[in-house]
């Protein structure tokens, strides 16, 4: 069906023009407001995403560094034990009797008229 053509003429006066202008202005402002809100939402989403990514990277880096710190702490404890044993050995090496005993056992040195026999120890075999 065709629209019935209205035979009523539209009145063109100041009030109707002002009302139409205000409606157009409101519509433009509403569109601008929605655009601004959409832009703000996109900006907040991007900033929030970047903050989340940065936080996640920092947490992963922190976990890696803590794991590395645990390894370094274990290594430090092992090195302190080694240092203590080396310091003990240094103290022992200042003793002439220990040096003589060490030279006899490792280098098979002997005193005059002394014969060295190399006998395997049973205790060391049982420990293995």
What is the number of structural domains in the chain? 1
Q: 3-class SS at 128?
A: coil
Q: Which pLDDT does position 124 carry in this prediction?
A: 57
Does some domain include residue 33?
yes
Q: Which pLDDT does position 125 carry in this prediction?
A: 56
Does some domain include residue 117?
no
- For the stretch 42-57, pLDDT in tens is 999 999 999 999 999 9
**Cα torsion at 113, 118, 119, 123 (round to 10°)?**
120
Does some domain include residue 21?
yes
Q: Can you give the residue range of the structural domain that contains 88?
A: 14-107
Does some domain include residue 4?
no
For residue 110 the two structure tokens come to: 């002997």
- For the stretch 84-122, pLDDT in tens is 999 999 998 898 888 888 877 777 777 777 776 767 777
Does some domain include residue 81?
yes
Per-chain mean pLDDT for the chain: 87
For residue 51 the two structure tokens come to: 């903050």
């Amino acid at each position: 069906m065709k629209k019935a053509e209205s035979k009523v003429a539209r009145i063109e006066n100041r009030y109707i023009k002002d009302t139409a202008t205000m409606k157009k202005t409101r519509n433009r402002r509403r569109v601008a407001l929605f655009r601004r809100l959409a832009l703000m939402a996109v900006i907040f989403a991007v900033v929030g995403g970047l903050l989340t990514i940065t936080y996640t990277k920092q947490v992963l880096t922190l976990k890696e560094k803590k794991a590395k710190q645990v390894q370094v702490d274990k290594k430090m404890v092992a090195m302190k034990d080694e240092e203590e044993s080396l310091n003990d050995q240094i103290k022992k090496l200042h003793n002439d009797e220990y040096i003589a005993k060490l030279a006899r056992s490792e280098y098979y040195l002997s005193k005059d008229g002394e014969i060295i026999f190399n006998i395997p120890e049973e205790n060391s075999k049982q420990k293995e």
